[in-house]
Structure 1
Amino acid sequence: MKKLCIPVLAIILMACGQQSKPAQEEKHDSTAAAPETVEPVDERSFVGHMAASDLKEIRLGELAAQKAKNERVKKFGADIVKERTASTLQLQEIARQEGAALAPELSRDDQDEIALLRDRDNMDRAYIKRMVQEQKRTVRRLQQYTNAKDTAISAYVKRTLPVASARYDEAIQILEDMRKQMNNRDISHD
């Protein structure tokens, strides 16, 4: 039994070591997938979290609308700016009703991420990859609050969730089309 356990344990440890290497390498890629878990927050914090998320998406959308080469990416960025600005206004109204001020700021990490994206040669693709992740996170957070006790938050979620879901689907489709286009270009150069 001992002879069997040691090789099995060695194989498991080697497999774990190999799985952690790609994850460490991905940390250096600004387009690497962020953790996909969305931590639940209480309803009062929800408004602040959504406003911060909106601000990040607005800044990313402005960047895409200005610098993207792909027209679909430019339009997607412009649409995100418009939708997230409207979302932020709704969140500000909810905060005002509750007697709170809402002044979202970009975190240092978000500022750095946007700066890195601005300088990328393949900004279009990197932006869409990031937006797939952002929209997925937004949809998950909204889904957690579909039955919020606060009626203003519940109404906000019911208005915003379908829009965010549609943007998530659109971002996936744009990214998929970009991948197909790259593959076709690689095949045609052979």
Structure 2
Amino acid sequence: MKRIVFASCLALASYMMVSCNSGTTTENKDAVDSAKAVNKEQKPVDKSVSDFAVKATSGGIMEVELGKIAAQKAVNPRVKAFGQMMVDDHSKANDDLKSRAAMENITLPSNMSDDQQKMVDNVNKKTGKDFDKEYMDMMLNGHKDVLDMFQKASADLSDSTIKEFATNTIPAIQKHLDSARAITGKK
């Protein structure tokens, strides 16, 4: 169940996104819902485009936060290195998406969703090998779903600016998935 919930939330989010706002928002309890509401009202682009950008941003924010925790807390050096890779790669992708979304007048969340924050809090409670296992299982399952989400966006989105972001980000997502598979020994 945790695996399904995480995968869904990560897919709602995705790898690569933004930790800052790129438009006007009305900050609510949940920044993701707030961004979606602003985009629905302003209709900057096709709904599927803005929904993808919001999901990718929220996921990217979560990936950076989890990566920071893993880089400090993991006991396995490979897991620590993976966490740092998540921070570096997702911060870069977040910045790219933020600038592209601004060009399209898409409002992005400034924080991850409340559900994602709960998942971060739960994994952060783990220690030692239990933390490493939980974190890497989340990364493995989440990156599978995110890869599917980005491949679909790369094929289907109507906005060329955001579609290009999705296409350009796929190799990093694949690299993350391959790394997670190597570390966990799972497919």
What is the root-mean-square deviation in Å for CA atoms of aligned residues?
Answer: 1.9
Task: Give the Cα–Cα distance (whole angstroms) in 1 for the partners of residues 163 and 84 of structure 2.
Answer: 26
Q: In structure 2, the residue corresponding to 1:145 is in which secondary structure?
A: helix
What's 1:175 paired with? 184
Q: Which runs of 4+ in 1 moved over 4 A?
A: 35-39
1:118 aligns with 2:127: no
What's 2:36 paired with? none
Relative to the length of structure 2, the TM-score reads: 0.72
Aligned pairs, number: 146
What's 2:153 paired with? 145
1:135 aligns with 2:135: no
| Higher Cα radius of gyration | 1
What's 2:95 paired with? 89
Listed one character per residue, the Cα deviations across residues 20-52 of structure 1 (whole Å, up to 9, x for unaligned) are xxxxxxx4xxxx31155668x711211111000
What's 2:22 paired with? none
Runs of 5+ consecutive residues of structure 1 not aligned to the other structure: 1-26, 178-190
Listed one character per residue, the Cα deviations across residues 136-178 of structure 1 (whole Å, up to 9, x for unaligned) are 121011011122321112211221001101111110110118x
Task: Give the Cα–Cα distance (whole angstroms) in 1 for the partners of residues 65 and 124 of structure 2.
Answer: 11
Percent identity (aligned): 24
1:33 aligns with 2:42: no
- Aligned AA for 2:66? L
Relative contact order higher in (CA < 8 Å, ≥ 6 apart):
2
Q: 1:118/1:127 Cα in 2 relative to 1: closer, same or farther (>3 Å)?
A: same
Aligned partners of 1:139 and 1:161 also within 8 Å: yes
Tell me how far 1:79 sits from its aligned partner: 0.4
What's 1:55 paired with? 61
